[in-house]
Amino acid sequence: MKLLRFVLILGSMALSFAFVSTALNAAERGMIILDGSGSMWGRIDGSEKISVAREVLSQVLQSIPPDLSLGLMTYGHREKGNCSDIEVLVPISPDAGGRISNAAGDINPKGKTPLTAAVRQAAEALKYTEDKATVILITDGIETCNADPCALARELKKTGVGLKVHVVGFGLSAEEGRQVSCIAEETGGLYIQADNAAALGDALTDSVLEVTASEQPVAPEAEPETAEVAELPSANLDAPEQVEIARRFTVTWDGPGEKYDYVSLFDPDGNNGEGRRIRDRRLQTSGYDKRQVTLVAPVKPGPYELRYYYGAARAVIGTRAIEIIDAEVSLSALPTVDIGRRFKVEWVGPGGRRDVVQIVDPTANQGEGKPIRGKRVVNGDFDNKTVDLVAPAEPGFYRLQYWNGENNKVLATREIEVLEAEVSLGAPQSVAIGATFTVEWIGPGGRRDAVQIVDPKGNQGEGKRVREKRLTNGDFDNQKIRLPAPARPGVYELRYWNGENRTVLATRQIEVKDAEVGIDAPESVGIGSTIKVSWTGPGANRDAIQLFDPDTGGGRSKVLRSARLVNGEFEARTVKMNATAKPKQLMLRYWSGDSRLVLATRPIEIKATPVSLDGPEAAVAGESFSVSWQGPGAYRDSIQIFDPASGAKGKVLAAARLVNGDYDGRIAKIKAPKKPGNYVLRYWNADNSAVLAEVPVAIH
């Protein structure tokens, strides 16, 4: 299955680079920006993302027209932490496929993601203020160099003469996608987000259709001489006579099916009456064996023409008329919704794989409006034609819109009002350090909403989150959660965090007060013995008493034993743990698990104690005999008969737990093995996995 999924990913990525070549057919000049940041070493089903990209790029570049001018740029491939690490590996030039493949093979991801600066440099290399051009950014991460990609995109749109930036989000989350999709949206390009291999294949297949649906004049078609007309092959096209706007439909073709052949959808009224090609689909893609291609209808009703374009002669060798007819597209939802609340939207429309129901802030983007939330219709309840959305955190009037991804067009809108609503937190005025306390909440209760404890002085005064718990992980029905207080005294802030909007909806102060924390234990114990420790402190769920060696761990100390307080006698405030098998001066400490802080310490000495065995020098095979012992007498300690000659590490032939013998009399009984030989009696301290004493014994 992994091999199959890897093949699917390769196919999907191949389509993404087919998207690249198709996009550039329209612009004739383009720059590919391939992410070279360290995250590209991330794996997909066992293969690094950069390896997948290299291999597929090499495959696709073999089939692009030689006169297509392409370049390759990357970033983050030379140094870690350097936001200036951007390089043009292959200058823009015709017939650059082989050089781009070789250069991509040498990219060694390691650094940051200065994608904003890279897009700017690519645009400048394309002379975007003078000529139409295309940039294709393929990234698996968001901007990490303190730049605003959205502001850059708006600048490029204003100053350019037709620059489009297409963005392929390689495994980005929805939130990460929102942070980079604006580059495409502002420049009229495409943003393609793939959450898995199948979605990547679907999105990139569709993008081939999108990119060529630009305001380009009709491709020049050869006017062959009369003598050559008979030499042109013929082609036939079959498709529905009528198709609703924005619907996907299938075209069956019969023709040469050569490398540069494609089926196009032609608008005879476009380009001021001269005609305009608005959809292209190369034949040598999926569906080739069935002689089928899939196209998407435009959103403007009217008569259109399907054409078979023969690439070898740059001529149309087959046509068929098709009518695009109007269809109902609408949205239905409640007229009002409270801030941060989840609500349902019913839709009627094409239901394309990339169609989205969006919430738009009409005041954003200098009054032009900006989508702030969206959900693909295929990711909702598709059968019942509904999607769930989350209302913004700011009250006001918003617009719902049905976005047809295939055509980059809004097909339907309706207004919705987001209302102010009560959001509050109830909690004690003060709590002791590390203590667990209850917070009552009122608010949207979204599945990503949480209550946070924030240190307002942290992060250089900007505030630092020190605790967080999602509402759904608490007593949701009674609108309560429990949180452990920080281990440091001070004034903190409780926050209601609306995860969908990444916004704080309510706050209140809480004081964390100092409290007594202490440890009581013997000053010294014998090796391997049980230590009983009394404690005073918060007693939080993850708190523990630890035995640690301050002289190990490179100065950071090494924890040798750890006992969770809740696993001891919690009411009596005691825990037990076992001493080490080697004498040494060690430390006991109270560990706050939630804060990862030490709240109290005290020294304890592990002393050497007599450990010995007294048994017969010889015993009868298969019979039991008695052994007297001295030692820690820990619960899991035992007397063993050991064969040092059995295997590389020897073998335990028999064992008797001390607690199962005459414990007070310090006598254990053990059964001799049936095989005669010279063996070893040994005292085994299980808690330390250590032999503390041993004597020989002969079995006859």
CATH of the domain at 6: 3.40.50.410
Answer yes or no: are the C-beta atoms of 563 and 575 closer than 8 Å. Answer: yes
Read off the DSSP letter of residue 483: E
Among 170-174, 355-359, 495-499, the range scoring the smallest mean pLDDT is: 170-174
For 455-487, the pLDDT digits (tens) are 998 888 888 999 999 999 999 999 999 999 998
Residue 71 lies in a domain: yes
Q: What is the pLDDT of residue 640?
A: 96
Answer yes or no: are the C-beta atoms of 355 and 377 closer than 8 Å. Answer: yes
Among 141-145, 160-164, 397-401, 539-543, the range scoring the smallest mean pLDDT is: 160-164
Residue 619 token pair:
């015993």
Find how far residue 418's CA is from the centre of its chain: 31
d(CA 535, CA 520): 6
For 500-550, the pLDDT digits (tens) are 898 999 999 999 999 999 999 999 999 988 999 999 999 888 899 999 998
Same domain, 198 and 51: yes
Other Cβ atoms less than 10 A from the Cβ of 273: the count is 8
d(CA 694, CA 149): 72
Residue 239 lies in a domain: yes
Q: What is the pLDDT of residue 313?
A: 86
Q: What is the pLDDT of residue 63?
A: 61
For 228-249, the pLDDT digits (tens) are 444 889 999 999 999 999 999 9
Same domain, 336 and 191: no
Same domain, 507 and 554: no
Q: Is the pLDDT of residue 131 over 90?
A: no
Residue 219 lies in a domain: no
Q: Is the pLDDT of residue 201 over 70?
A: no
Non-local (6+) Cβ contacts of 129 within 8 A are 159, 160, 161
Count how many domains the chain has. Answer: 6
Residue 218 lies in a domain: no
274 burial via Cβ count (<10 Å: 0-12, 13-18, 19+):
exposed
Q: State the chain's mean pLDDT as an integer.
A: 86
CA nearest to 194, candidates 175, 212, 211, 177: 177
Read off the DSSP letter of residue 221: -
Answer yes or no: are the C-beta atoms of 295 and 208 closer than 8 Å. Answer: no
Q: Mean per-residue pLDDT for 369-379?
A: 90
Q: Which residue has the higher pLDDT, 634 or 23?
A: 634
The pTM for the full model equals: 0.56
Domain that residue 682 falls in: 612-699
Q: Is the pLDDT of residue 314 over 90?
A: no
Q: Is the pLDDT of residue 218 over 80?
A: no
Q: Mean per-residue pLDDT for 130-150?
A: 87
* pLDDT-derived band at 53, boundaries 50, 70, 90: confident
Residue 220 lies in a domain: no
Same domain, 373 and 475: no
Residue 544 token pair:
């523990």
For 636-650, the pLDDT digits (tens) are 899 999 999 888 889
Q: Is the pLDDT of residue 22 over 50?
A: no
Q: What is the pLDDT of residue 635?
A: 84
What's the Cα-to-Cα distance from 141 to each of 49, 112, 129, 199, 467, rounded to whole Å? 12, 9, 28, 18, 27
Answer yes or no: are the C-beta atoms of 557 and 531 closer than 8 Å. Answer: no
Q: Mean per-residue pLDDT for 680-685?
A: 94
Residue ending a domain, among 325, 355, 371, is: 325
Q: Is the pLDDT of residue 101 over 90?
A: no
Q: What is the CATH number of the domain that holds 270?
A: 2.60.40.10
Q: Mean per-residue pLDDT for 594-613?
A: 92
Q: What is the pLDDT of residue 191?
A: 75
Q: Which residue has the higher pLDDT, 26 or 365?
A: 365
